[in-house]
Amino acid sequence: DEKTHCYVKCVWIHLGLYSKNTKSLRVNKIEKQFTSRGVAIPSDLKSMEGETDGSCKAIYDKTISFFNNNVADLRTAFYGTIEESNKWYAQNPDVKPKGTKISKFCKAKNREQGESNCKHACSAYYYRLVDEDFEPIHFRLLEIKGFSNEDIDECTKQTSGGQGCQRSDALYDCLKNKKSAALE
């Protein structure tokens, strides 16, 4: 059904593994995730290559057999169990821990500027406004507390001319101007 199709699309987007610009899955990053976790690359991974029309159904159709064929390996590769998740957080102390507020984490240790001269790289990433390449995440059914999807869409459109972390800074600033308390 449509809700399931859009849920699958949302999962790929929020994992940072679907590009709206190319309307395709980032198969190379999926492969890297498997290899980095010591999991064999599934033989059907290449079946997910290529452009889609960007619809929920098209992405679902392209990926559902991959999900079904590789459930256990996906859980291991993407830390889909509590034990694996806890192990990963223990090994990656520079990542925002579970239960820590984004604002508190990003303000500490000058994380906000990221690797560039950005103002809000950390917050924009952890609020899932942008992916790791600073590409805005356009499709969302999960709202950020205090902002409607319309607020997010409006700010995304207003900042469409920007590049890299300057765009994520502009997107964050636009939302902060709408409702600054929601980002505290």
CB 154 within 8 Å of CB 160: no
State the Cα–Cα distance between residues 108 and 81, nearest whole angstrom: 28
- Token pair 């492969």: residue: 31
Quick: pLDDT tens for 134-161.
878 765 554 567 777 788 888 888 888 7
8 contact partners, CB below 8 Å, separation of at least 6: 56, 59, 60, 63, 64, 67
- Three-state DSSP class for residue 35: helix
Q: Where are the domains of the chain?
A: 2-89, 95-183
pTM value? 0.59
- Burial of residue 106, with CB atoms counted within 10 A of its CB: 0-12 exposed, 13-18 middle, 19 or more buried: buried
The CATH classification number of 2-89 equals 1.10.238.20
CA distances from 20 to 56, 67, 114 (A): 12, 20, 23
Mean of pLDDT over the chain: 86
Quick: pLDDT tens for 114-124.
777 788 888 88
State the Cα–Cα distance between residues 148 and 120, nearest whole angstrom: 20
